Amino acid sequence: MSSLTARSLTGAQRAVTWRQGRFIRDCRCFFTSVPECRFVPKTRKMGPSSSPSSSFSSHYRCFTVSSSQRTSASSPAADQKTPSYSYVIIGAGSAGCVLANRLTEDAQESALLLEAGPKDRWLGSLRLSWKIHMPAALTYNLCDDKYNWFYHTLPQANMDNRVMYWPRGRVWGGSSSLNAMVYIRGHAEDYNRWQREGADGWDYDHCLPYFRKAQCHELGENRYRGGNGPLQVSRGKTNHPLHKAFIEAGRQAGYPFTDDMNGYQQEGVGWMDMTIYKGKRWSTASAYLRPALGRPNLKAEVRCVTTKILFDGNRAVGVEYIQNGQKKKVFAEKEVIVSGGAINSPQLLMLSGIGNADDLKQLGIPVIQHLPGVGNNLQDHLELYVQQQCTQPITLYKAQKPFHMVKIGLEWLTMFTGYGATAHLESGGFIRSRPKVAHPDIQFHFLPSQVIDHGRVASKIEAYQVHVGPMRSTSTGWLKLKSTNPLDHPIIQPNYLTTDIDVWEFRQCVKLSREIFAQKAFDPFRGPEALPGPQVQSDADIDAFVRQKADTAYHPSCTCKMGSPSDPMAVVDSNARVLGLEKLRVIDASIMPSIVSGNLNAPTIMMAEKAADIIRGRPALVDSGVPVYQPPTLDTQR
């Protein structure tokens, strides 16, 4: 989900290092009195002589691999000792951190976690890494490439040929360290649809227990919520009058109130859940990785760009990666697990010879397995902002002025409270775009502020806005390798707005948002419309506005589709195993068969929890017959 508050008034602020002789340039932000530096920890020496545990020394060990044993894995220095672990996990993001924790709960197994970016804390300090851990500071890293892959798409023909900016996390926690911390699971029917699409055992009855297992909700445990999991989930604390107005206006427009969008009833307007704990972002690095770092059977490395999966025939045996300019190799005794996300996971598979054989041959990549679905089926959520000027000075406009930013920052740094302790997306909703739609296909995130260009441009007026977009667009895209260089970003083609129904649904998004903003609850606050603006009235005008202003909600997915082996576009089976290969899995948002109706962080964490049980051979958790809200009639969307 998109961008929000406390951020540099000059826009994107480039991270800098002492080593490179660069300094943080925005002197209007008081935090710049402390320069940032990139900290690369020394490699931890492990082995029988230095291991803190004798049990770990049997898992982290060195051995000689001859070329006759592993042809694809061999190298000129094949007789040199190479480290080996039970599992090698690529990517310390929303899925990878979960897997690193759960798989090393078994002291008899070991895991190496490779992350391309740095740790999420500088010198171990939350406060020194405030750009990640202060919830309101999220746009700093959304607009900076220090912790961010900073991807861009091809020009979009149906969006005025705009090149779309796609931030993705490159840091411990992955995009859970960059996102807006909105905790949304999607609708039960999303998971039942997965089952129908070939993901056997991934229906709602089998997914809900893993949502609960992951979650620790501040409101306590019930049939839908978890109360003892690692992932802390909370509600907003600002009690802002504009959030109350939005919820009341939604009810006045005919939509129900829901007290839990992740529980019995997704449909309606209400209060959002957020992955914020005691005023701090609660990423998967905080929830899963850091509590496991003390285990002797887990090693986590940073600044490691994985370049290739190594094979012995059709069996994955390890990976090659680059760290600090040096090419390294590691072997996996049990499995290689790819958790790089919807962009990096298919990119690594293709670099390793897994994908469309014709495309790989054109680049001179030896084909390990022809799977044309790799990189295809790309799905994302688009959204746009409907903005209304506010007649009262109660929005976050003043909070973004330098003096107020200092006050907010100091309160957060000293007590982790105040306006810095929230991303301010505290209310929202899900509605149906039209009659006969079985479950909500439009999502709202309400914000008591104005956002311009991902937060890279300063708010100019007192205003409030709703982020609105369709949840199940029918346009799908693809990504391909630009070259064989693993450091080159892939070519990304989302193919936004290529179908008539997608265009129509966005038109509805604008019309229905305006209808809510016109309700009596907003009478004390409503000024002129800022976006789209009163001049935009006809369908043609609205369509033009959508083409000009719609942008990604930061939810790429489905590029390594889970499905039946008979599906020509499937990449992994229902156990997340890459089809046709052994000891190789992909576990992250890329394996979603289709995108869910909501934000993707919570579903990705759930998938990793469930996959960890699959890998460990545990019986699947299931909770059959959980009640799910059904609208009283489908003859209207109200």
Catalytic residues: 555
Alpha-carbon gap, residue 526 to 390, rounded angstroms: 5
Alpha-carbon gap, residue 590 to 557, rounded angstroms: 5
Degrees, nearest 5: CA angle 6-9-13: 85
Residue type, 408: I
Owner of token pair 């082996």: 565
The answer to whether the CB of 434 falls within 8 A of the CB of 637 is yes
Tokens of 404: 């107020």
Residue 431 is given by DSSP the state E
The answer to whether the CB of 214 falls within 8 A of the CB of 198 is no
182 has binding-site annotation? yes
Q: List residues bridging with 63 in a β-sheet.
A: 82
Tokens of 554: 């930061």
Tokens of 633: 């009639």
- Tell me the three state secondary structure of residue 277: strand
Query: Rounded to 5 degrees, what are φ and ψ at 322?
Result: -115, 130
Choose among 301, 277, 295, 288: nearest CA to 126. 277
Distance of CA 266 to the CA centre of its chain: 20
The three-state (H, E, C) secondary structure of 297-338, written as one string: CEEEECCEEEEEEEEECCEEEEEEEEECCEEEEEEEEEEEEE
Distances from the Cα of 249 to the Cα of 344, 496, 514, 523, 585, angstroms:
41, 31, 11, 10, 46
The answer to whether the CB of 263 falls within 8 A of the CB of 185 is no
Residue 212 is given by DSSP the state H
The three-state (H, E, C) secondary structure of 18-61, written as one string: CCCCCCCCCCCCHHHHCCCCCCCCCCCCCCCCCCCCHHHHCCCE
171 has binding-site annotation? yes
Owner of token pair 């924790």: 101
> Quick count: other Cβ atoms within 10 Å of Cβ 161?
10
350 has binding-site annotation? no
Tell me if the bond preceding 532 is cis, omega within 30° of 0: yes
The answer to whether the CB of 457 falls within 8 A of the CB of 7 is no
471 has binding-site annotation? no
The burial of 95, by beta-carbon neighbours within 10 Å (0-12 exposed, 13-18 middle, 19 or more buried), is given as buried
317 has binding-site annotation? no
The answer to whether the CB of 110 falls within 8 A of the CB of 59 is yes
Binding residues for FAD: 171, 179-182
Binding residues: 171, 179-182
